[in-house]
Copies of this chain bind each other. A is one copy, B any other.
Amino acid sequence: MAEEKPVTACLVIIGNEVLSGRTQDANLQYLAGALNEAGVRLMEARVIPDVEATIVATVNECRAKFDHVITTGGIGPTHDDITSESIAKAFGVPHVVHPEAEARLRRHYARPEDLNAQRLRMATLPEGAELIDNPVSAAPGFRIGNVMVLAGVPRIMQAMFDGFRHRLKGGAPMRSRTVLAYVPEGQMAAGLGAVQTAHPSVEIGSYPFFRAGRLGTSLVVRGTDAAKVAAATEAVKVLVRAQGGEPIEES
């Protein structure tokens, strides 16, 4: 049976604060898992600065290459938040006030004067964009074409994604099983290559670790077909035992 073509995604993390090391990105790891549950494979991620030309070029390259593109960051009210206008340029559409987004902001702020010109920028979106709800702080994300534009603050990003994920068109999720062994990976490498060759429909990853002063290897088997993943996992366990180790399956 031929493998179904995977539904793919690329994550574009927009923000000088990640590239300067000031902020540790937490969105990639969350989205990798959440996308996988929706049957979408994260194939690539890019971290880029708040520079219009870079955002335009990156988004245009990635939306042509992947089924879905998710961006995080740069949709707040300050001068360094330029994601929305850059996405409008990438799509070659005007950047206009979205009436429903504006209405949401008007309801959110207590006094009319609090919705100043800078905050109103958060309701200014590429023409044709569809809103993505922000249950945390009102200012919406949006979708245009195959590009979903989300906030950078993790709890807002997660709330946006969680409200939107059921609308993502995905395929079969990857299933994953992990076997730990206190055997150096170099000692198992030949056998592991043979297991991979014998089980071509799964991916086998090998990751060395040190724990409590002992060198070990974490072996990860991933694939969309649970039976094939199980068969390859058994083969990995046989290999570990043949090398004198005791396989420990991690849940």
Query: Which of A95-103, A123-131, A158-166, A189-197 touches B?
Result: A189-197
**Distance in Å from the Cβ of A195 to the closest Cβ of chain B?**
9
Asked if A23 meets B176 with Cβ closer than 8 Å, knowing A189-B78, A190-B117, the reply is no
Interface membership of chain A positions 183-222, coded 1 if the CB is closer than 8 angstroms to chain B and 0 otherwise: 0011111101100100000011111100000000000101
> What CA separation (Å) do A17 and B174 show in the bound complex?
13
> Could you say how many copies of this chain the assembly holds?
2
B residues in contact with A79, CB < 8 Å: 189, 192-193, 196, 204, 206
Residue A25 CB within 8 A of the other chain:
yes
B residues in contact with A78, CB < 8 Å: 185-186, 188-189, 192-193, 206
A–B complex contacts, Cβ < 8 Å, 8 sampled: A18-B45, A21-B36, A22-B205, A28-B47, A78-B189, A78-B206, A116-B186, A117-B190
> Which of A's residues lie within 8 Å of B, judged by CB?
16-26, 28-33, 36, 42-50, 54, 76-81, 114, 116-119, 153, 174, 176, 178, 185-190, 192-193, 196, 203-208, 220, 222
